[in-house]
Amino acid sequence: MERSIRQIADEMISRLHLYRAMGIDLWDVPLCEPGVSVPQAVPRVQPQDAVSGVSARSEILPLPSETGPLQSIREEIGDCKRCRLCEGRTHIVFGVGDPCATLMFIGEGPGEEEDRQGLPFVGRAGQLLTKMIAAMGKTREAVYIANIVKCRPPNNRNPQPDEIAACRPFLMQQISAIRPKIICTLGAFATKTLLETEQAISSLRGRFHRLGDIQVMPTYHPAYLLRNPAAKKEVWEDLQKVIPLL
């Protein structure tokens, strides 16, 4: 019993360090309803708030991202020249994580470091995303991470409609292959592209939307949080709604 309590204490201390790294003030963020035990720091979901129509998924160990159907999609993309973004890219940034993940994060597009390494979210914004995922009690290997466009826009400009249109079919194939239970869209472009809407991210975030039988939770992009640290609290509130449904 003594060892078990120590392990729980160590886990809580570790998670508190993660929250602090994200800039989250735990005294201001409601962790759970009154009377609910605190160790997992997750709010209890009432039956009327639970996701309906989506069956529970058993936990699957992380596997390499480009296997099976995902590998076929990557091969179909090939040395893509379907839009002008191919002219300045170093690498196609396909995606990374568990090909059977219940949770998928979708961002806007690769940045400089992502283009150099060929991996999504590995720059400063990616480091913050990693902390966000860890604060949810998961690892990067246990989720799947991708972007709306798979090549870096010049000087990190916004992706153009024709560039998004060229990449979107491959993203939808990835989603179909992974079949996540929940998708968290990061930022306006990912949210508007996936939900096919022109509504502002500020009006869409914080509540679930549907993509077929998949629940979609829009929230702000980690790069936005680097410029606006005060918004971290709102993002954490969004992610808290996702945690119980996993």
> pLDDT tens digits for 113-160?
999 999 999 999 999 999 999 999 999 999 999 999 999 999 999 999
- What confidence score (pLDDT) does residue 66 get? 54
Which pLDDT does position 106 carry in this prediction? Answer: 98
Nearest-angstrom CA–CA distance, 146 and 164 = 13
pLDDT at 152 (0 to 100):
98
Tell me the mean pLDDT in the region 68-96: 97
Q: How high is the pLDDT of residue 56?
A: 31
Least confident range from 3-17, 86-100, 218-232: namely: 3-17
Residue 40 has φ and ψ, to the nearest 5°, of -90, -5
pLDDT at 120: 98
Whether 223 has a pLDDT exceeding 60, the answer reads: yes
Share of the chain above pLDDT 70, in %: 73
Residue 54: what pLDDT? 32
Largest CA distance in the chain: 61
pLDDT score recorded for residue 64: 42
Q: What rounded mean pLDDT belongs to the chain?
A: 83
* Residues 219 and 10 sit within 8 Å (Cβ to Cβ): no
| pLDDT above 60 for 239 | yes
Which domains can be identified in the chain, with CATH numbers? 53-245 (3.40.470.10)
| Tokens found for residue 48 | 């009327």
Q: What's the rounded mean pLDDT across residues 173-201?
A: 97
Q: Looking at the predicted structure, is the pLDDT value of residue 12 above 90?
A: no
Residue 242's pLDDT band (cuts 50, 70, 90) = very high
For Cα atoms 151, 124, 224, give the angle at the middle one, nearest 5 degrees: 85
For residue range 202-221, what is the model confidence (pLDDT) as tens digits? Answer: 999 999 999 999 999 999 99
- DSSP character string of 184-240: EEESHHHHHHHHT--S-HHHHTTS-EEETTEEEEEE--HHHHHH-GGGHHHHHHHHH
Mean pLDDT across 8-27 = 56
pLDDT of residue 49: 34
